[in-house]
Amino acid sequence: MKFTSALSILLGASSAFAAPSALPDGVQLVPRIPRAAQRRALRQTSPLIPATSAFKEDSAAAGNSSHVDYSQNWAGAVLIGSGFTSVTGTIVVPTPSAPSGGRRSTQYAASAWVGIDGDTCQTAILQTGVDFYATGSGSVSFDAWYEWFPDYAYTFSGFAVHAGDTIRMTATVSGSTSGSVRLENLSTGRSVSHSFSNQQGSLCQTNAEWIVEDFSSGGGLVPFADFGTVTFTSASATTRSGTVGVQGADIIDIRQGNSVLTDCSTSGSSTVTCTYV
C-alpha cells in the first residue's frame, strides 16, 4: 500500500512520520504531506484485488509451473505458506513507456517490489521496491520506497535509481509488528535500509511475493505503464524451516475488464518474469 500525494508523483515531494535508520551519507527520507485535505488526493498500492473469480487459467494452458490467477492490480508470483521471515529478489530497472495509443499529457506508472503478506493475509504488508513513471511525451522517472501497510509509504530521497540499474530488494520480519527492509543498487554500490517496530498492522507471515503492480489514486487504478519486462532473479524466501525458491508459487496476471495486461511465469527455482502485453 504505497501512499503518495498527487503532488509527490509529479514533483517527487513527499512526507514521512518516522526517521530513517542506517542511511548512508547523503541519503535522506522526504516526509510525506500530512494534511488531511491533501490525503484525499493520496495514491496507494493495495493488497491484491482479485479479478472476477471465474476468470482463471490452468497451468497447462499458461505454460507455467503453477495455476494462474487474475488480479486487477498485481502481477507476479506469490508463495502461500506459513512462517515467512524474509523475501528477496533482484531486478534490472526497465525503461517504462506509455502503452500503445497513450496520450502525451498522461502520466503512466507501475511498481516492482518484494513483500510479505497482502494476498491471503491483508492486515499488513511489509514491502519495498521501485516505482516507474512515464509520460506519453517520453519522459521517465523512478523512485525507491518502503512501507508497512496500513501506514503510509516513505520515499528514499537521494537513493538514485535509473533505467538499467540492478536493484536487490529484501524485506525481513523480526516479529508480527517489526522488521526491516533494504534496497541495494548493485550498479552504483549504494544501499539504504529502514527498520520498523510496534507497527499498527500485524503480519500473518503467510505470503511471500515478487510483484509488478498497477497502484491506485483517488479511488481508481492509475494509467498502467508499459514496463516491458521485469525479471526477478535470485528470488527466494526464508521460513522458520529454511530457504525456499519460487517453485509452486501462485502466478498472478493483471486483468482489467476483458484485457489481460501481463504475462508472468516462473522458471527454475529463483526466477520470476513478468512482461507487459
Please list, in sequence order, all residues whose beta carbon lies within 8 angstroms of the beta carbon of residue 76, skipping any fewer than 6 positions away: 209, 210, 211, 212, 232, 251, 252, 264, 272, 274
Strand segments, DSSP code E, in 23-152 are 28-30, 43-44, 68-71, 74-80, 84-92, 107-116, 125-135, 140-149
Provide the phi-psi class of 269: left if phi over 0, else alpha when psi is between -120 and 50, else beta: alpha
Backbone angles phi, psi at 69, to 5 degrees: -105, 160
Task: Round to whole Å and give the CA distance between 102 and 239.
Answer: 43
What torsion, rounded to 10 degrees, do the Cα atoms 6, 190, 23, 239 define? Answer: 90
User: Which residue in 147, 184, 209, 213 is the catalytic one?
Assistant: 213
Q: Is 213 assigned a catalytic role?
A: yes
CA distances in angstroms from 187 to 1, 39, 127, 131, 231, listed in the order given:
27, 35, 22, 17, 16
17 close to 34: Cβ distance less than 8 angstroms: yes
Active site residues: 213
